[in-house]
Chains A and B, each alone.
Chain A
Amino acid sequence: MDAHALHPATSTGIPNRKLAIWTFIGSECLFFASLISVYLVYKGKSLVGPYPSEIFEIPLVTVGTALLLFSSLFVVLALNGCEQGNRKKFLGWLAMTILCGLFFIGMQVYEFTHFFHEGLTMQKNLFGASFFTLTGFHGTHVTIGVIWLLSIFIEGVRGHVPPAKALNFEIAALYWHFVDVVWIVIFPVVYLMNS
C-alpha cells in the first residue's frame, strides 16, 4: 500500500492532483528550456560590459547552490516524516527547507543588487537581459515555493497535515525538487561555462 491507496480511485491509478503537478512540471521544463536557449544564443554577443567573467562571484553562488541541493534533501526527509506521522521530523526538516530557500533568495537579492551597482541592468547589454530574465524567473519560482512550503508548515503546526493528507505536501515537494533540478542546469550553464 502506498500514498495513492489513500485517495479515490482514478482511471490512471494516479491521484489526479499528482498527475496535474507532473504535467505542470513538464510544461515548466519547456519554459526554462526556452529561457536557457535564449541565454546560450546571446552568450558572448554583448557589445559593452560588464561581462560575466568580470562580475560573477562563484563562491557565493556555490554556497547558494549547496543550500538549494540540501533543501531538496530536507524536504524529502520532511515528506518521509509526514508520511510516517512523525510530526517532529516533518516540521523540523520542513523548517530547515524553508530556511535554505530563504537563504537562497537572499543570496540572489544580494547578487542582483551587487550587479546593479556594477552597472549591469536588463537594458545594459544582451548578457544582462538574458541573465536577469533566466535567473529572475527561477528566483520567482523559488519564492513561490517558499510561500507554498511556509503555508504547509503553518498547517502542519496546527495539526492539519496528517499522513492521510501527505499528498498535499508531496505535490509541493515535487514542485520544490523541480526548482532544484532547474538550478542544477542553470548553475553550470550560466556560472561555470562563462569563459
Chain B
Amino acid sequence: MDSSAQAHEHNFPERAGEYVRIGLILFVLTALEVGSYEIAHRPGVPLHDFMHTGLIPVLIVLSAIKFALVALFYMHLKWDGPLLKGIFSFSLFLATFVIVALLALFIYEGKFSAMIGSLMGATGT
C-alpha cells in the first residue's frame, strides 16, 4: 500500500458487509422470480392458480425491489446528494412514461379509432 493509499485509508466507509447482504437479497429475489415462473407454468403444484393469474404483478414488484436495491446501495444513490437522485428519478419517470404511453397508444389504438369513428357518425360529420 503506498502513502497516498494510507492517507486515504480511513476516509472511505467500509461497507463490504452491507454490499454482501444486499447481494444475497438480490440472489433470493431472483430465485423467487424464477420460482414464481415455474409455479405459474406447472399445473398441480401449490399456488399454481394464484401465480397463473398474478405472475406479472409479482414479477414487476420483485424486479422493482431489485432495481431499487442496486440503485440505492451499489450505485450509492442512498448516500448521494439530491441532484444525482433527481437526475436518475426524473429519467426513470420519463422512461416509465414512455413505456406506458407507447403501450396505451398501440394497445388502445383500435379502440380509440372505433370510438372516434362512432362519435363522428353520431354527429353526422
Residues of A within 8 A of B (CB): 1-3, 5-6, 12-14, 18-19, 22-23, 25-27, 29-30, 32-34, 36-38, 40-41, 58, 62, 65-66, 69-70, 72-73, 75-77, 80, 83-87, 159, 162-164, 166, 174, 177-178, 180-181, 184-185, 187-189, 192-193, 195
Contact = CB atoms under 8 A, between A and B. Distances in A.
Interface of B: 1-2, 4-6, 8-9, 11-12, 14-16, 19-20, 22-23, 26-27, 30, 33-34, 36-37, 40-41, 55-56, 59-60, 62-63, 66-67, 70-71, 73-75, 81, 83-84, 87-88, 90-92, 94-96, 98-99, 102-103, 106-107
A70 B30 CA distance: 11
Contacts of B4: 85, 162-164
Contact of A13 (B70, B81, B98): B81
B1 A87 contact: yes
B94 A69 contact: no
Contacts of B102: 34, 37-38, 40-41
26 contacts: A18-B84, A22-B88, A26-B90, A29-B88, A30-B98, A34-B102, A62-B34, A69-B26, A72-B23, A72-B70, A72-B74, A77-B16, A77-B19, A85-B1, A85-B2, A87-B1, A163-B5, A163-B8, A163-B12, A177-B74, A184-B63, A184-B67, A187-B63, A188-B59, A192-B34, A193-B55
Given A32-B95, A80-B15, 16 more contacts: A1-B11, A33-B96, A33-B98, A33-B99, A37-B99, A69-B30, A70-B23, A83-B11, A85-B9, A162-B4, A163-B5, A177-B71, A185-B63, A188-B59, A192-B37, A195-B40
Contacts of B81: 13-14
